[in-house]
Every structure is written in structure tokens, then in C-alpha cells.
């Protein structure tokens, strides 16, 4: 390859965009750092209170300025509390609880919560009956954690299709769903669109649109389905 045809390096100070950056909403890179380790639960009361305060404020569709007006606390002080920088007094927590219409003990729930984990050994997944399932369509629930601090419920399934059929179940439910294909080939429908799914392909979609397998091209077909939706209050 000649130097003329070689790929030119990016100008100094400008990094190449990754596929993850391009896929991020409105072109913004994803900001959460999965490697950030928080303090142990015993030393993290301020952070737990701060996260609870921010969550309650957002549930009330209030800005920090709105909360400041209702409580008489400065915007700077509220920002420090939400970010776990300062420890609020009981009088301050009482004022915040009154403004947000929550019991004062609600600010301590995350501090006291146990973080759940579930380990499912190979072959031990629970076979589920979902509406519209039929012989040859097997759904195995890989784990489940109920009410949790994230506010989100996640249902991971391993789905195996082993028999052809003239009709297929159509699903429509709340939440977001991710499919990742491991084996076989399927034509999968979402709304009025069709997707030819093969091993290594993924499909990420709003599950409120009708969706489901439309045509089984190569069997057996096996894929991971992860459904997420807000947990009920």
C-alpha cells in the first residue's frame, strides 16, 4: 500500500468516534463508568441520601431551584446533598421530606438495602409459560430480582424454537427488549418491519410495538431475550 492511499491519522486533539459513540443518543457518548467503585455501604450514607433525594425530586418533576424555593435551602446546599458531599441535619431532612411528601425514613432505604444476586447453573433455568407459547417454543427464565434500588425490573430469557409452525405468537408489552441470536436463523417482526436474524445478530427495540418470530428459516433457533421495564411503585 502506498503512502498516498494509507489512512491518514486523526488530527491532534481529535479522537476517532467509536461505534458506541455514534449509537449513543443525539451523538453523545455513553457517560456511565461501569468500573467506578463506590464506598462500602457503612461509609456511604451521604451518597445513599443524595441518590434518594435526587430520585424523589425527579419523581415530583421538580428542579433543584423549585426545591430550593420550597425548603429555603440554597441551590448549592441541595447540590452538595444530592452528590453526597455533605451530611444533612435531621432538621434539613425533615424539611426535604415535607417538601417531597415522603417519610423522613425514605432517605435511608437505599443505605439499608441488600444488593441481590442470583446464580443459575446450566440446566437449572426455570421453564416459563408465556402467553401465546406453543409446543416447540421453549422459554427459560435465567434469573429474577424483584424490587431493587435501580427502579428497573429485568427479565432474562433463553428462548429455543425447535418446531416449525404456520402461526407464531405476537408479543406486545411495556418496556425495552434486547434479542441476541446464538443459533439458527429467524425472520423476526417488529411493527411493520422484518429482520433476518442470524447468530451474532442483535435487535434492540421498544416492546410496546407488536413483535415476534415471523418465519423460522433454520432450526433449532436459540436466542437470548432481555426485557426491562420500570418496577411498580
* Residues 93-112: tens digit of each pLDDT: 999 999 999 998 888 876 75
Q: Which string of DSSP letters, residue by residue, matches the chain? A: --TTTSPPPPPTT-PPPPHHHHHSGGGPPP---TT--PPPGGG-HHHHHHHHHHHHHHHTT--HHHHHHHH---HHHHHHHHTTSS---HHHHHHHHHHHT--GGGGGHHHHPPPP-----TT-PEEE--TT--TTEEEEE-----S-TTSEEEEEEEEEE-S--SS---B--SSEEEEEEEEEEEEEEETTEEEEE-TT-EEEEETTS-EEEEEEEEEEEEEEEEEEEEPP-
pLDDT in tens, 160-191: 988 766 557 788 999 999 999 999 999 999 99
Between 127 and 197, residue with greater pLDDT:
197
Beta pairing partners, 153: 229
As a whole number, mean pLDDT of residues 61-68 equals 94
Q: Domains (ranges, CATH) in the chain?
A: 41-112 (1.10.260.40), 126-230 (2.60.120.10)
Q: Are 107 and 57 in contact (CB under 8 A)?
A: no
Look up residue 135 and give its three cell numbers: 409446543
pLDDT at res. 121: 87
Reported pTM: 0.59
Q: Which pLDDT score, from 0 to 100, does residue 2 have?
A: 44
How distant, in Å, are the alpha carbons of 6, 8, 24 from that of 2? 6, 12, 35
What CA–CA distance (Å, rounded) separates 200 from 48? Answer: 39
**For the chain, percent of residues with pLDDT exceeding 90:** 48
**Longest distance between any two alpha carbons in the chain, whole Å:** 73
Amino acid at each position: 500500500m502506498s503512502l498516498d492511499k494509507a489512512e491518514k491519522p486523526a488530527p491532534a486533539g481529535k479522537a476517532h468516534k467509536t461505534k458506541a459513540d455514534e449509537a449513543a443518543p443525539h451523538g453523545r457518548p455513553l457517560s456511565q463508568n461501569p468500573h467506578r467503585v463506590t464506598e462500602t455501604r457503612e461509609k456511604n450514607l451521604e451518597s445513599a441520601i443524595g441518590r434518594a433525594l435526587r430520585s424523589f425530586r425527579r419523581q415530583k418533576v421538580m428542579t433543584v431551584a423549585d426545591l430550593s424555593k420550597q425548603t429555603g435551602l440554597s441551590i448549592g446546599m441541595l447540590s452538595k446533598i444530592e452528590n453526597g458531599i455533605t451530611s444533612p441535619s435531621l432538621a434539613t431532612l425533615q424539611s426535604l421530606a415535607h417538601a417531597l411528601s415522603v417519610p423522613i425514613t425514605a432517605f435511608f432505604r437505599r443505605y439499608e438495602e441488600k444488593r441481590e444476586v442470583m446464580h443459575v447453573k446450566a440446566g437449572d433455568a426455570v421453564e416459563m409459560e408465556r402467553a401465546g407459547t406453543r409446543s416447540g417454543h421453549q422459554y427459560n427464565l435465567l434469573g429474577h430480582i424483584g424490587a431493587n434500588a435501580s427502579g428497573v425490573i429485568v427479565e432474562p430469557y433463553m428462548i429455543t424454537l425447535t418446531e416449525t409452525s404456520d402461526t407464531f405468537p405476537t408479543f406486545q408489552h411495556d418496556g425495552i427488549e434486547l434479542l441476541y441470536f446464538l443459533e439458527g436463523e429467524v425472520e423476526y417482526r417488529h411493527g411493520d418491519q422484518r429482520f433476518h436474524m442470524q447468530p451474532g445478530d442483535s435487535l434492540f427495540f421498544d416492546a410496546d410495538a407488536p413483535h415476534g418470530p415471523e418465519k423460522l428459516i433454520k432450526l433449532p433457533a436459540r436466542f437470548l431475550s432481555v426485557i426491562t421495564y420500570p418496577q411498580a411503585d
